[in-house]
Amino acid sequence: MQDQQPIATSAHVPSALRPLMGALCDVAAQLSHLIQRGPLGGKLGAEVGTNTGGDGQKALDIMADEAFAERLRDASVRWYASEEREDVIELDQNGAYTLAIDPLDGSSNIDVNVSIGTIFSIFDAKDDAESSVMRPATEQLAGGYIIYGPQTMLMVTFGQGTQAYLLDPDSNDWLLVDAAVKVPATAREFAINASNYRHWPQPVRAYIDDCLAGEDGPRERNFNMRWVASLVAETHRILSRGGVFLYPGDQRPGYENGRLRLVYECAPIAFLMEQAGGQATDGHDRIMDHTATTLHQRTPFVFGSPEKVGRVAAYHDLPQGEVSALFGSRGLFRA
């Protein structure tokens, strides 16, 4: 285990970003405590409306968003871009940074005691909101997530590897537990919502069919499927033990580009993954090469161990006729 440095003084955190990271961690610690109280803290999972993307909002979504926005006014954040807000808002005219955030990821799991989290991305601030947020993912200064689970942890990168901090429940300090997180190169797990199988594009169905065929199939090994419906939980598992996550676009109206947002979900997770030795794509192209054109832009998303992400891309790169021929001889319900 690494020297357990508090994040406020950690040599692994750029000094200019320590106040901002401290503010994020302050709110996260408060949310962690609230989440641990469950129904004693109120009806956190109550439906309160929908956000701009049409997704249902829970009470805790709004509480988290408001708490981060309020605390970050004193952390040199000029522009605040949230999943829960239609537009970017200005917090501090003199702030040096832009923060894009999903304040409470996986909120459908609030009432069932499954790990949920916060995802964030940090950029330098430009003179206007649009150019501060709609920019190449490679311009991120930091990206990460906080997971509220059996342990509350922060996973973050500043472009020099991926770090892990643990919220100590005794001291309430965020302590460094791993300064160089690495995605395991091999694993026999994939994560996808198989209930949407009939809607997937053929390359994705062919890839999953090959996994499901097990030892008798072309992969010649058995695989396990995982699906938590919480992006931070999926990411944390893959950072811990490898595998691959897939959320493809599909044939349903509104799902052509999947449901995950580029700016405040996929870009920071892609940054973390690459800095931990993994890969992240939209199925074939690198996410970090993408530039958002709208705040709530969606993208298909595949990430995890490099060999597995690369294999998914290879299925997408096959000529359509070749994929169709492969798919014609296999299927989820056929040998």
Q: Structure tokens of 254? A: 């509104």
121 annotated as a binding-site residue: no
Residues 38 and 173 in one domain: yes
Task: Determine whether the annotation assigns residue 265 to a binding site.
Answer: yes
The two tokens of residue 26 are 């302050």
Q: Are residues 71 and 123 in the same domain?
A: yes
Q: Do both 146 and 71 map to the same domain?
A: yes
**C-alpha to C-alpha distance for 270 and 284, rounded to whole angstroms:** 14
The separation between CA 76 and the C-alpha centre of its own chain, rounded to angstroms, equals 24
d(CA 312, CA 306): 10
- For residue 226, the domain's CATH number is 3.40.190.80
Is 193 among the annotated ligand-binding positions?
yes
- Look up tokens 């891309």; give the residue: 313
**pLDDT of amino acid 47:** 86
211 domain residue, yes or no: yes
Is 102 annotated as ligand-binding? yes
Rounded to whole angstroms, the Cα distance separating 177 from 165 reads: 6
Q: Is residue 268 one of the residues assigned to a domain?
A: yes
305 is in an annotated binding site: no
83 annotated as ligand-binding: yes
Report CA-CA distances (Å) from 328 to 12, 200, 209, 213, 248.
52, 15, 11, 15, 20
Q: Is 113 annotated as a binding residue?
A: no
The domain containing residue 293 runs over which residues? 189-328
Residue among 100, 320, 304, 290 nearest 312 (CA): 304
- Averages of pLDDT over runs of 10 residues in the chain (335 residues) are 75 96 98 93 84 81 97 98 97 98 93 95 97 97 97 98 97 96 94 97 95 92 95 97 97 95 98 98 97 97 97 86 51 39
- Long-range Cβ contacts of 223-228 (<8 Å, 24+ apart): 223/188, 223/189, 223/190, 224/188, 224/189, 224/190, 225/189, 225/190, 225/191, 225/192, 225/194, 226/189, 226/190, 226/191, 227/191, 227/192, 227/193, 227/194, 228/106, 228/109, 228/114, 228/115, 228/191
| Pair (124, 171) in one structural domain | yes
Task: Please check whether residues 250 and 302 belong to one and the same domain.
Answer: yes
Residue 107 among known ligand-binding residues: yes
Query: Quick one: tokens of 234?
Result: 């999926």
Query: Which residue, 130, 147, 180, sits at the end of a domain?
Result: 180
Tally the C-alpha atoms within 13 A of residue 112's C-alpha that lie toward its C-beta. 8
Domain boundary among 117, 147, 180: 180
Reported as type and span, the H/E element at residue 225 is strand 224-226
Q: Quick one: 153 and 255 in the same domain?
A: no
Q: Which residue has the tokens 């049409």?
A: 54
